[in-house]
Amino acid sequence: MVAAAALVPAVLPGLVPAVSAASREPVAADNGMVVSAHRLASTAGVEVLKRGGNAIDAAVAVAYALAVTYPEAGNIGGGGFMTIRLADGRETFIDFRETAPAAAGPTLYQDAAGKVIPGQSTRGYKAVGVPGTVAGLELALTRYGTRPRAELMAPAIALARDGFVLDSGDARFLASGAEDFARDPGSAAIFLNRGQPWPAGHRLVQSDLAAALALIARDGPAAFYTGPIAQRIVAASRANGGILAPGDFAAYQAVERQPITCEYRGWRIVSAPPPSSGGVVLCETLNILEGYPMAALGFHSAQGVHYEVEALRRAFHDRNTQLGDPAFVKLDVARFTDKGYAARQREGIAPDKATPSASLGLPTALPEGQSTTHVSIVDKAGNAVSLTYTLNDWFGARVTAPGTGILLNDEMDDFSAKPGVPNMFGLVEGSNNAIAPGKRPLSSMSPTIVTRDGRLAMVVGTPGGSHIPTGVLQVIRNVVDYGMDLAEAVEAPRIHAQWLPDEVAYERFALSPDTMAALSARGHQLVEMGYHNQIAAIVVGRPAAGPAAADDRPIGAPANGATARLYGVIDPRLPTGSAEGY
Ligand code: GLY
């Protein structure tokens, strides 16, 4: 292999590229880093850090700001998960996943003949789960934050009240929801200009949302769950065929849980437990891959992709047939993250032949959206937050409760509308994820933190529905196995596989024609895909995990308490985000 330095033309003596493929350098900073899907939200978070707030404070500010500047997925009408690692090594997880309303049951989206009615679980008020974001941010702030709620919400309130100027990325993204906004007067009044999308350069003012945020800032979750906001959402739901009731809001609780953990080649992964499948899929896949010489096989070699697809096939099969809300189904999660289990899974993987997905067994009974977004934050002390939250589909159910400015989720589609029938991600699931009152739908969100030798090394996550664990997995393996710089790891083209459909999806340029031919010869079905992920990631210490030069710091926060250099990258696949540090 030619060393990168040898490629530097002699006319540029001494200039050794910091990255070895055509890629930007990560954003570097010494004191704090925020990576999010919207530049104004990232700025709001960095300002909190500069004023001495910690990573949890910054996450609350960013999450509320995204609810204004990134209505595609930023939200207070949805839910999500926050993985936290404190500088002292404590790790925790805040679950603020939406719940099914009390009036929901397993056949909610089926007709009298038992057929799933298309669209009912994805558009309109009937698709809406009880939102968890306000409760979850409050729980995180109360237990681990340091700043008053009102201070952290002030930037979001100002952005909604005074508006912000749409850039071309914002305008393009908003325009993608225009057709559905036109059918919902509450959304049309805000997101459309007399029925047409707002152009770039327009200042988007959201007065109702500003008022709702100001109420929450003053009165806390009570304003949302038992006060005027709940009342308005319930009234809109009742007027439009929904089933939300005041009791659903009053009963909502965010929950603190233990994250899922596993080791991959000496790196420790801390990720989302059920009701997310993210940590299980990530850990099970990594455990299986650990038995193969992935680094030697090389990035996207036919053999390496074959093993990765086979590992994902098995992890997604377990996801879809076994997992669900732990308050409703008995789960032995440790079984899936056990190294011995992975070794037994490897025994069923032939090196030269794809396993037909159906041969793994179909679920006794059988669904997921993409309007998700991820925030990665590290503060000066080394506290880290990995936050993924969502409306499910882009712009959720595409309804805005009049008088609130709040776009509502369609998270009910993450339940299995009918076991055996694929959801919007083609995920086919079992009865463990059937709809029940108060139950949380199975998720794929994977807010992840990685440590090395007991020190914070990486914060990573992404939107993408069922593509979330595969996106996170590929960034981790690009860094760990292929020695990529963080920017290279995030920007490298991706593949995706998920048991059913039984196919290997690839981004353009991810696989060469001869690699594809070698995979086809093993029996894999190949299909080109568009972009599903927007990775937001931070590495600590230095931007790549490969061999260090003599004067390089090791990857991971320094053991001696000295400030670590932070490197942040936002995926360029979506046009609105930024990595900002100070
Ligand atoms: N709605 C996307 C997820 O929860 O994974």
Q: How far is the CA of 274 from the centre of ligand 1 (A)?
A: 12
Whether 24 is covered by a domain: the verdict is no
Same domain? For 104 and 130 the reply is yes
- For ligand 1, atom 4: residue with the closest CA: 443
Contact 507, 493 (CB under 8 A): yes
**Vertex 322: Cα angle to 78 and 531 (nearest 5):** 50
- Please report where in the chains the tokens 């993608």 appear, as a residue: 176
Q: Pocket around ligand 1: residues whose beta carbon is below 6 Å from it?
A: 368-369, 372, 390, 392, 414, 443-445, 465, 468
Q: Are residues 208 and 310 in the same domain?
A: no
Is pLDDT at 249 greater than 50 in this prediction?
A: yes
Sequence-ordered list of residues with C-beta below 8 angstroms from that of 503, at least 6 positions apart, any chain: 497, 524, 525, 526, 527
- Residue 459 and residue 333 share a domain: yes
Q: Which carries the bigger pLDDT value, residue 416 or residue 87?
A: 87
- Note whether 187 and 288 are same-domain residues: no
Instruction: Look at residue 462 and tell me if it is in a domain.
Output: yes
Tell me which of 122, 355, 372, 576 is the catalytic residue.
372
* 443 annotated as ligand-binding: yes
Q: Do 122 and 71 share a structural domain?
A: yes
Residue nearest to atom 3 of ligand 1 (CA): 443
- CA–CA gap between residue 127 and residue 124 (Å, rounded): 6
Q: How far apart are CA 165 and CA 71, in angstroms?
A: 14
Please give the distance, rounded to the nearest whole angstrom, from the Cα atom of residue 326 to the centre of ligand 1.
16
Following DSSP, what letter does each residue of 7-71 receive, concatenated? GS-TTSTT---SSSSS-PPPEEESS-EEEESSHHHHHHHHHHHHTT--HHHHHHHHHHHHHHH-T
Indicate whether 20 pLDDT > 70: no
Atom 1 (ligand 1) nearest CA:
392
242 is annotated as contributing to ligand binding: no
200-222 pLDDT per residue, tens: 999 999 999 999 999 999 999 99
C-alpha–C-alpha distance, residues 272 and 48, integer Å: 26
Task: Judge if 237 and 333 occupy the same domain.
Answer: no
Q: Do 73 and 182 reside in the same domain of the chain?
A: yes
Q: Are residues 532 and 509 in the same domain?
A: yes
Residue 126 CA to residue 107 CA, distance in Å, equals 13
What's the structural domain count of the chain?
A: 2
Model pTM score: 0.93
Asked whether the beta carbons of 425 and 368 are under 8 A apart, the reply is yes
Q: Is the residue at 179 inside a domain? A: yes
Structure confidence by residue, pLDDT tens digits, 399-439:
999 999 999 999 999 998 876 666 666 666 668 898 999 99
Is residue 197 situated within a structural domain?
A: yes
Atom of ligand 1 nearest to the CA of 441: 4
> Among residues 433, 456, 490, which one ends one of the domains?
433
The answer to whether residue 102 sits within a structural domain is yes
The annotation status of 478 as a binding-site residue, yes or no, is no
Q: Report the pLDDT value the prediction gives residue 364, as an integer from 0 to 100.
A: 42
Q: Is 390 annotated as a binding residue?
A: yes
**Beta-carbon contacts of residue 149 (< 8 Å; ≥ 6 apart):** 60, 138, 141, 216, 217, 220
pLDDT of residue 113: 87
The closest-lying atom of ligand 1 relative to the alpha carbon of residue 392 is: 1
* Mutational pocket test of ligand 1: of 411, 424, 446, 462, the residue with most ligand atoms within 8 Å of the beta carbon: 411
Task: Report the nearest atom of ligand 1 relative to the CA of 414.
Answer: 1
Torsion of CA 435, 436, 442, 445, to 10 degrees: 110
Lowest-confidence segment of 35-44, 155-164, 362-371, 559-568 by average pLDDT:
362-371
Q: Are residues 220 and 98 in the same domain?
A: yes
Do residues 348 and 450 share a domain? Answer: yes
Same domain, 333 and 241: no
329-356 average pLDDT score: 96
- pLDDT at 556 (0 to 100): 64
Per-residue pLDDT, averaged over 349-378, amounts to 81
Q: Is 277 annotated as a binding residue?
A: no
Q: Is pLDDT of 11 > 60? A: no
CATH classification of the domain holding 336: 3.60.20.40
Range of the domain at 298: 258-357+446-581
pLDDT number for residue 424: 62
Q: Is residue 439 part of a domain?
A: no
Q: Is residue 372 among the annotated active site residues?
A: yes
Residues 555, 451 share a domain? yes
